[in-house]
Amino acid sequence: MAGFFKKSLSGVKVPHNKNTMESATVDMPIPEQVTIPMLQHMGAPCEPLVKTGDHVKVGQLVGSSTQFMSAPIHASVSGDVTAIDEYINPAGIRTKCLVIKTDGLQEVDESIAPPIVNTREEFIEAIKNSGLVGLGGAGFPTAIKLNPKNPEKVDTLVINCAECEPYITADNRECMENAPAILNGIKTVMKYLNLKKPYIGIEDNKPKAIAHIKSQIIAGDPIEVVSLKSKYPQGAEKVLIYETTGRVVEEGMLPADAGVIVMNVSSVAFVDSYMKTGMPLIKKRLTVDGSAVKEPKNVRVAIGTTFEDVLNFCGGFKTEPKKVIMGGPMMGISVYTLKTPVIKNNNAILAFDEKDAVTPNETACIRCGSCVRACPFSLMPLEIERALKLEDGAKLEKLKVNLCMACGCCAFACPAHRDLVTTNNLAKKFLRNYSSKQAK
């Protein structure tokens, strides 16, 4: 039974601003053009399988890779490939992209059919072919996640519907609008991976979602809905596992090492859809919100649709935007152009006016300890910063800096507004180089 362990992990209370919680998802019409990057996942980019001038159809495989850590990419529209360009994503990574002029017909590729699955191996292969990646975070290829090195030790499935970032309500709408698919997807994953216990973690500021999912669970099903405290970062993988199961994922461990597989709620719902239709991952639900957005809403769009087109569909801007973010304000990435395309793991577009976009000036650390108290893992950013300045790799290792997940709790709690996340990231990079030299 979840909830028996001694206490919850630390975190911070953020203003959730769930303005679109009651906004039902609307489908955006297909735009005149889409841009499909060949890197929409953690790992190696894909290589285009089509060339300029080719005609493509919905669901057609247009990008693949022979590398282990990758995920195939499919056309979200029908139309003609007008260019194969270079694209620089918001993280600064260069990759190829397809530019497709849509024909408005949305003709489905002839290869689309429900996969034939009877075994665990066939199920994992089907998930790989679907192009599914984690839809709520880093975009980890799902087929790899579902095929751990120690499958006999994995017995628990945790579904992440915490949605603790401010503004974002896309997963909440998944619960309200697609509960049967969520539950069927859970049962499918449990069946083929031979798992015993599933949990669905939802923050307690979403009581309608909790009640609705519970109402759909058939008596006797082992699925348990866990009401999580409304506190950031409940949706972080290690935090969520602890809060739902009581298991601890130690430094250097994967969730599977603790006997757990974690999936986003939209990911597991997609599993049910793909098993029934064979249509790969070509659409994404987004929350569009922020002080500069005229008509905030939840919208389902074709992957590759530009931010500009999505924002125009939401009425455009009511004030001049000073910052546009892919994802949430805590862990999202600021984009440098509205020509940025929607990708698989993009769950929000947030646009803020000057007042909300201003970053306070950094001042001297006052040694208050707020950062330590806010960190879910009780890391010490001040000591990490000192060790980094001294280039003391051994000390950084002792301080467990690799446990930092860049959630931003420390920076959010800091009264001096210090950029502690960047410091921790630099410290992790230094430690990797240090450890590599030590190994040699």
Q: Are 58 and 108 in contact (CB under 8 A)?
A: yes
pLDDT band at 364 (very low <50, low <70, confident <90, very high): very high
Q: What is the pLDDT of residues 280-306, one digit of tens each?
A: 999 999 999 999 999 999 999 999 999
Measure Cα distances from 188 to 6, 182, 275, 308 in Å: 32, 10, 9, 37
Measure Cα distances from 169 to 32, 160, 262 in Å: 27, 13, 19
Other Cβ atoms closer than 10 A to 439 = 6
Question: Stretch 376-387: mean pLDDT, rounded?
Answer: 96
Q: What is the pLDDT of residues 421-439, one digit of tens each?
A: 999 999 999 999 999 888 8
Of the candidates 40, 67, 63, 35, which has an alpha carbon nearest to the alpha carbon of residue 51?
A: 63
pLDDT of residue 75: 98
387-410 core/surface letters (b: 16 or more CB in 10 A; e: else) = bbeeebbebbbebebbbbbbbbbb
What 3 state SS string does 324-335 have? EEECCCCCCEEC
Question: Stretch 346-363: mean pLDDT, rounded?
Answer: 94
Q: What is the pLDDT of residues 220-236, one digit of tens each?
A: 899 999 999 999 999 99
Give CA–CA dist 202/2, Å, rounded.
13
Give CA–CA dist 132/303, Å, rounded.
13
Q: Which residues pair with 299 in a beta bridge?
A: 26, 286
Q: Does residue 136 have a pLDDT over 90?
A: no
Q: What is the pLDDT of residues 138-164, one digit of tens each?
A: 889 999 999 999 999 999 999 999 999
Q: Which residues contact residue 31 at a Cβ distance below 8 angstroms, ignoring those fewer than 6 apart? A: 102, 302, 305, 306, 309
Q: Which of 358-362, 388-392, 422-426 has the lowest mean pLDDT?
A: 358-362
Q: Which residues pair with 83 in a beta bridge?
A: 99
Q: Does residue 91 have a pLDDT over 80?
A: yes
**Greatest CA separation found in the chain?**
64
Measure Cα distances from 136 to 252, 325, 344, 384 in Å: 22, 15, 9, 29
Question: Stretch 188-217: mean pLDDT, rounded?
Answer: 97
Residue written as token pair 């130690």: 250
Q: Where are the domains of the chain?
A: 120-277, 370-439
Q: What is the DSSP letter of 59?
A: T
pLDDT of residue 7: 64
pLDDT band at 1 (very low <50, low <70, confident <90, very high): very low
How high is the mean pLDDT of the chain? 95
Of the candidates 37, 1, 206, which has an alpha carbon nearest to the alpha carbon of residue 133?
A: 37
Q: Does residue 177 have a pLDDT over 70?
A: yes
pLDDT band at 8 (very low <50, low <70, confident <90, very high): confident
Edge-to-edge strand ranges of the sheet holding 348-352: 26-27, 297-302, 283-289, 348-352, 323-326, 333-334
Report the CATH architecture of 120-277.
3-Layer(aba) Sandwich (3.40)
Which tokens go with 22? 């009651």
pLDDT of residue 439: 82
Of the candidates 401, 303, 418, 290, which has an alpha carbon nearest to the alpha carbon of residue 365?
A: 418
pLDDT of residue 296: 98
Dihedral angle, C-alpha 289, 293, 297, 299, nearest 10 °: -90
Single-letter amino acid code for the residue at 219: A
| E strand map for 17-130 | 26-27, 33-37, 47-48, 55-56, 61-64, 73-74, 79-88, 94-102
